[in-house]
Structure 1
Amino acid sequence: PLRGGGGHRPQQQPRGQPLPAVLSPEATELIYEYGLVHVLRGTHDRIRPLLREAARARTEAGPSASAALGVLIAFCDVFSGDIARGAPEVTRCAALVDALPDGVAGHTPDVLALLGCAELYLERFPDARRHLQRGLDAATGGAQKHIRAHQLLGLTMIDQWAGRLDWAERRAAEAEELARAVGAPDVVTLATAMRAMTLVWARGRRYASEAVALAARAVDVVALGRGWWATSAISLLAHAQLLGGDATGCLRTLRDGGGGDGLPQVQPAFRPSLLALMATAALAGGDAVGAERLLADAEADAGRLGLPLQWACVHRAGAQLRSARGEHAGALELFERAAEAFRGGGLPVQHAWTLIASAPATALVRGPGAALDVLDRAESMARACGAALAVEEAERVRARLSADTRPALSPHPSAGPRVADLWSALSEREREVADLAAAGLRSRQIAERLFLSHRTVDSHLGSAYRKLGVSSRTALARALGPAVPG
């Protein structure tokens, strides 16, 4: 961008020439428009050096133009994961924009869209909703359809997280229609994926395959890894796949679309939660080692960002990993931290989903009654949101816990002293598996009851055999004595 002066047309700066210390109104506007083009194309990082230089300069532009440039700079910082730099600027710019009268702010709905999305990434959902809705109300002209579609996407995400699933579905459909009207295929893809994800939550697991197919068809029209639009849509597809029971497909989608295990092509502000999603999928597939590696990456990224809800996703995945290891008390602590963060952030569907996931650990640590109370709370929240998937999951977990009310087997008095001594050498998870195997359950049945993979059950059972000095289920049952009634 070049300095503009008088009535002259701005001249292009030679490559590498610094911006002037004082930016004219024309230059300020040109920098903003140029940056906005990059944002809409998903090439944020290319514009950040220029924007940082512009932030150091003084502008002769009026308050609205100055606020617009500040919002653009702050948005790019937050989107790129530079929370320490971007968060204070978002706060400052929000105050500037709020001070603008509606007549002025209405002429720049793109600024309100950028500000609302930056606040969304910072997990400031009430502020994000207010600014996105204000921009949506202002963006009524035909030339504003593209910006309106963006605002609808932001509001769709907020509504989905806040449990307003009917609103989320309507907004996503409207954004999809607008994006088709203006010829924006990337926006169509993301809107369709958002609608599909909403439908999975609202209609339950029986609809999951149809919703996944809808998202997959949309994602197919965009080259994998092509900018943040595509990676955002791919992330939603992967999440829907995991909710639908396809852990392998979830991992494959994220690896292919995000650039590998580290997800380098995913926007940093959402990377921890997506790495946690991959860890959950790996664990569901029986790859505890891979899950642990992915979780370590997620924790490192979450530590850099410091965003509570990203941490909540990481804690929930960490709790699932600890449960798989038989560390139920530690797992429950992480589940509860995650659930409290989701509750405090105003995400009732995720709060309910986390409580449901914590129920087996709650039963083992605090007893079946406490676990059933947790499930009752979760189901009540899910029903209030219309989240049929969470209601179904709560009912499924409740049925399994109700059918398995007996405590983990302690050595029966008829068991010999050697077995009683060796029993204490087993881990908590090995005891659970051995108990159920001695009662006659097959490995697949044990896996379903304890929410483990078939491979993990066999591994624990083999370890228990070695420690107890037996080689079969029959020998195990004989060594441990009669099963406890019930």
Structure 2
Amino acid sequence: MVHGESDGERRAERPGALLGREGELCRAGEVLRALEGGATPFVEVTGEPGVGKSRLLEEIAARAERAGAAVLRLGAGARDDAAVAEVPVRTRSGRPVLLVLDDLHRAEPVVLDAVRRARPAVLCAYRSRQAPAALSRLLCGLPADRHRVRIAVGPLTADEARRLAGTGLGARAAAWCAAVGQGIPRYVEWLARCPRLPGPAEVRADIDLLELLPLPAEPVSDAEFDGLDDICRRVAEAAAVIGEPFRPDLAAAVAGMTAPTLFAAVDELARRDLIRADPGDGGLFRFRHPLLRARLYQRMAPERRLAAHRCAVRHLGGADDVLVRARHLSRCARAGEPGAVAAFEAAAVTALAWSPATAGYWAAEGLRRVPPSAAGERDRRRLLVLLARALGGDGRLSEARSVLDGLLTAPPSGDSGGAARPTGGTAAQYAALTQLAAGYAQLQGGHGDAATLLETALERLGPDGAQAAALSVQAGCAALLAGQPGAARQYLRRAGATADHAPGPRVRRRALDAAVCAHDGDTASARGQLRVAVAELDALPDPGLAALLDSVILTAWSEWLVGTPGEALRHGDRAVGVARRTGQRQLLPGALLIRGLALYELGCLDAAIECYRESAEIARCEQAPEQTAVALALLCCAESWQGTVPPTGALADEACRRLRALPRTVATVAASGQLWAAGLWSAPGAGPGDPESFVAVAGGPRLRWLARCSHPRWLRELAEAEARRGRTQRADQWLKRADSVAAALGSPVQSAHVDAGRAVLALVSGRPGEAVGAARAAASAFSEAGMALEEGRALLVLARALAGVCQWTQLQTVLGRVRAIAADCGAGRLRELAVAEQRRSMSVAGRVREGSPAGVPPAARPVPPSGLTRRESQIADLVARGLANGQVAARLGITAKTVEAHLTRIYRKLGVTCRSSLVRALCAEPSALVADGAVQTGSLAGSGRSYGSIAASSARVATPSLR
């Protein structure tokens, strides 16, 4: 009775095909329990072909057998109703009978009628789209007392399909199999068995990969094609050659038959569910699954396939998509065939605007068919330029540079390639190729190489003309990023007013001018140039902005430098969107980096981390070491705020190693500074946060490698690092410089950095009253700029200052605001610091009145006998600062179990039972803290020291780097 699919599926599917079927099996379990109670349900398992119906049927039947039912399977040999009619409801021993029928849609009508009349419980599977009229009558004519249960089996989820395909495959290949297989187990496993899967570039090219893959045989799908008559097979093969979706009229022409014959065959193929109407466009059809078309295409005889492609080319009209024509020509055109090279070039030009990977494929196809002649050499050069643009746009920068190097060293006829100056069109081509090569060199971090290329071109072209102006602007950009702002200004002057004649060059020049001014600290001029550049950029639609995407990124970076992260985020968002839509993969890492910087500044940690992670992944694929290292460094800093990366994490080590291996540029030095400020920078012979190591990286005390408009921020970080080491005089010198630079910049944000640094220095110097005003001013300025994390840092310093002057009510309000910022930003580390500060302050707040004068010590308390050892004193001090057991263990290089054992002895010696009581006891007992290596954090009875001075002493050692 049943034939075709089930046996093949059982052989092909592994036990993993039941992955993700928990819901279906749960529902089947309810049916089995009803069967044990005497019911005779009629259970239908339906779904797409290959979705795993037969495997599910087998699993349900096996569970029924284990539950005590008698399972009767009727296979492909049953052709009449006798076998079904003789099945009893129960066996002689009283066991319920379960009749299992697979592929019910293939059964004969008489057998279906017998199934309708049968009384035992039935478990069947069928394809609903291929159900004949007799099966529909069976289902509608079931007796009223039969309980009908329908279990619809759908595709696997993306994660389940990846797990199914993942045996022996990489994550990327498994994800591709899952996506192309559309979650249907048979097709996912079929793809996973291919001896060769496409690489990332081939996947991005999107050029009918399936028909080019070496698909293995698949018995169930092959059987579907073997059952077709000659006419239906010819139509199906014509459709496979045309591609998806296909037009019936073109299929008729390729198959060589009349329209009535074709439509009859189309109806039969649709009835068999081999093809379906295309949901996107009326009158078009596509195969049930792309793998079916690919398999039928590969089963065709080579001569029939070649003839079909040639026929398709002849019947494609002039208005047809150039990519469709190129696909057919790629399967049948010979080298030197007239019109083929032009078709491939047209396809590459068309695809370049939205998919450089596709453009690269068609350019390569054209190059393979260029004839060896003078005309062919011109075609070859044009196609090589297209190929270089496509490879670069797809992020394959090394390959693109290799192609461009060949073009630049072998100039076209009419140019000697030596010192002679190119003229006319040759000059424009030479300038364009040089700009392209220099741009790719910059993306890989070779700013010096780019400047050399551009300077050589300027020498050949001369100082005048539009090409020379464009080259000068690009050379200025390379010089700026290489840390040579003076050279960048010289290139801008060489560009002169020539760049102002056209909108594109004018915007590029203004964007570079704004970046140079921002780097030099001329914020007024930078903002003026930005206003003009932004007005022109915002007026352009996305297609017009695609050619100026590098200038958009440069503009966003300048906005971030001058302290407007909101505007930087707006342009970063637009740059990322345009890069994705236009397929400019080579610019995506830079756009993601500037977007991440703006998000990080605004406190959106999760979104910033996502940007950094994607930027690092793409930059790795592009073999762009500078962008990879910078993205990893920024990712470490953002994750450290979340509290997910320890200071010695592998990611931080990798970022430091990569940055140290690269030459110093503006980007690498800034990234190293971010790691240093976060306490993650490791330099040989220097500890975390060592000021000298950062000064050395930044180019000496003048910090020449860092943008001058950000100097107050970095000088503040240096001052705080010196203050934490007790070197207050050095800290004061750094802050004086920061104050001078911030006044010249006229930037509220940079002035806020100076105020924040002064607050920390005042705290460390034992002047909490002075710290209150400075910290409050810094927090207010950061809040107005929308810089949430910096506001949280400043408020934490304010909280410590308020504790120093015994303003407990204000202190709780400020710490509440810090916790709210931490929750909004997802900054777990900021929250931990706020909680630790609250524990420290509350341990003293109960003993000191609100607003107590700084010179009046709190009331003395009796000193309990302690006798703490040196190690116990160290652990008690760290616990009093708010550190958890694991953090104490990491700080002292011991295990958490050892910390717990020490705490038990400390509690017993001090007569306390919890951590808060321990803190209060330590604040009252000096002897517990005077052991070698301990830090005094409480008030000393009778010593004459006020809580304000004690808080300042604690701040000197306990104030961590919050960046």
TM-score normalised according to structure 2 size: 0.41
- 2:879 match: none
Task: Determine the structure 1 residue equivalent to 2:473.
Answer: 32
Instruction: Please name the residue that 1:77 is paired with.
Output: 517
1:45-444 equivalences under 5 Å are 45-55=486-496, 57-59=497-499, 61-140=501-580, 144-203=584-643, 207-210=646-649, 212-223=652-663, 226-241=664-679, 249-365=689-805, 367-405=807-845, 406-407=847-848, 410=856, 442=929, 444=934
Distance 1:249 1:302 in 2: 23
Deviations 1:118-152 (A, max 9, x none): 11111122221121221211223898334221111
Listed as ranges, the gaps of 5+ residues in structure 2 are 1-420, 429-455, 849-853, 861-922, 939-949, 959-963
User: Residue 461 of structure 1 corresponds to which residue in structure 2?
Assistant: none
| Amino acid in the other structure paired with 2:487 | R
- What's the CA shift string for 1:211-270, capped at 9, x where partnerless? 6435433333225xx1212211210111111799x9753424312211233323222122
- SS across alignment from 2:856: coil
Check 1:360–1:366 CA distance in 2 against 1; reply closer, same or farther (3 A cut).
Answer: same
* Distance in 2 between residues matched to 1:89 and 1:455, nearest whole Å: 44
- Residue of structure 1 equivalent to 2:951: 450
Over aligned residue pairs, what C-alpha RMSD do you find? 3.3
Query: CA, structure 1 residues 387+72, in 2 after alignment: closer, same or farther (shift >3 Å)?
Result: same
What CA distance in whole angstroms lies between the structure 1 residues aligned with 2:493 and 2:799? 48
CA distance in 2, matches of 1:186, 1:42: 14
Residue deviations 1:140-178 (CA, integer Å, cap 9, x gap)? 389833422111111111111211111111111111112
Identify if the C-alpha distance between structure 1 residues 346 and 115 changes in structure 2 by more than 3 Å, giving closer, same or farther.
same
1:309, CA displacement in angstroms? 1.7
Cα gap change, 1:5 to 1:385, in 2 (>3 Å)? same
Counterparts of 1:73 and 1:5 in 2: how far apart (Å)? 29
Query: What is the percentage of aligned positions where both structures have the same residue?
Result: 25
For residues 413-463 of structure 1, what are the alpha-carbon distances to aligned partners after superposition, in whole Å with 9 as ceiling and x for unaligned? 99xxxxxxxxxxxxxxxxxxxxx7996574643258625379999xxxxxx
Shift in CA distance, 232/377, structure 1 to aligned 2, threshold 3 Å: same
Contact 2:507-2:536 at 8 Å conserved across structures: yes
* Bigger share in helix: 1
Q: Which amino acid aligns with 1:231?
A: V
State the 1:193 CA deviation.
Answer: 0.6
Bigger shift: residues 57-66 or 284-293: 57-66
Q: Is the 8 A contact 1:212 1:240 kept in 2?
A: no
Deviation (angstroms), 1:411 = 7.5
Structure 2 contact 766–952 (Cα < 8 Å) conserved: no
Paired amino acid for 1:326: G
> C-alpha separation between the residues in 1 aligned to 2:628 and 2:924?
51
Give the 3-state SS of the residue equivalent to 2:513 in structure 1: helix
Distance 1:260 1:376, change over 3 A: same
Distance in 2 (alpha carbons) for counterparts of 1:255 and 1:413: 46
Q: For residues 52 and 196 of structure 1, do their structure 2 counterparts lie closer, same or farther at Cα, with a shift above 3 Å needed?
A: same
Q: Deviations over 1:67-119 (max 9, x none)?
A: 12221222222123222322201111111111122221122211111111111
Aligned residue-pair number: 425
**Alignment check: 8 A CA contact 1:242 1:281 kept:** no
Q: Does the CA contact (< 8 Å) of 1:308 and 1:341 recur in 2?
A: yes
Residues 759 and 797 in structure 2, CA contact (< 8 A), matched pair in contact too: no
- Judge conservation of contact 1:139–1:148 (CA < 8 Å) in 2: yes
Compared CA separation, residues 146 and 7, structure 1 to 2 (3 A): closer
Distance 2:703 2:666 in 1: 12
In structure 2, distance between residues paired with 1:196 and 1:242? 8
8 Å contact kept, 2:666–2:706: yes
User: Structure 2 vs 1, CA of residues 149 and 109 (structure 1 numbering), >3 Å: closer, same or farther?
Assistant: same
Q: What CA deviation, in whole Å up to 9, does each residue of 1:40-75 have, x standing for no partner?
A: 5444432212203535x2446421221122212222
Relative contact order (C-alpha < 8 Å, sep 6+): which is higher? 1
The aligned amino acid for 1:450 is A
Q: Structure 1's 104 and 411: CA in aligned 2 closer, same or farther, altered over 3 A? A: closer
Larger Rg: 2
